[in-house]
Amino acid sequence: MKKPSSKIRNEIAKLQEQLRQAETREAEGIGHLALKAGLGEISIEEIALLAAFEDLATGFRRGKYPTTGRKRGNGDAGPSTAVVIPGANPVSSDEA
């Protein structure tokens, strides 16, 4: 039996709210890390900061920086416990 469109709309609305809450939690976590790293004290254009974040994300996706190697429930890599210094060559724990 097919679901009525009103029920599907209600499910979509619930999922959109869950997504909004998850994105808020993730943004708060990233924001805390950015402040801890000192980004709150730097005067920088939003477009330049966004480009830097995109470069950082690309670096993690390509394995440029070490991560914990764990996977989140949705298949994305979990948060890194490594300290990343832009421009520095990452060293694995095997090389240290």
How far is it, in rounded angstroms, from Cα 57 to Cα 76? Answer: 12
Q: Which amino acid is at 31?
A: G
Query: How confident is residue 1, by pLDDT bands cut at 50, 70 and 90?
Result: confident
The token duo for 94 is 């095997």
Contact of 49 with 39, CB cutoff 8 Å? yes
Contact of 70 with 77, CB cutoff 8 Å? yes
| Report for 20-24, 63-67, 91-95: range of highest mean pLDDT | 20-24
Per cent of the chain over pLDDT 70 is 71
Question: Per the confidence metrics, is the pTM higher than 0.75?
Answer: no
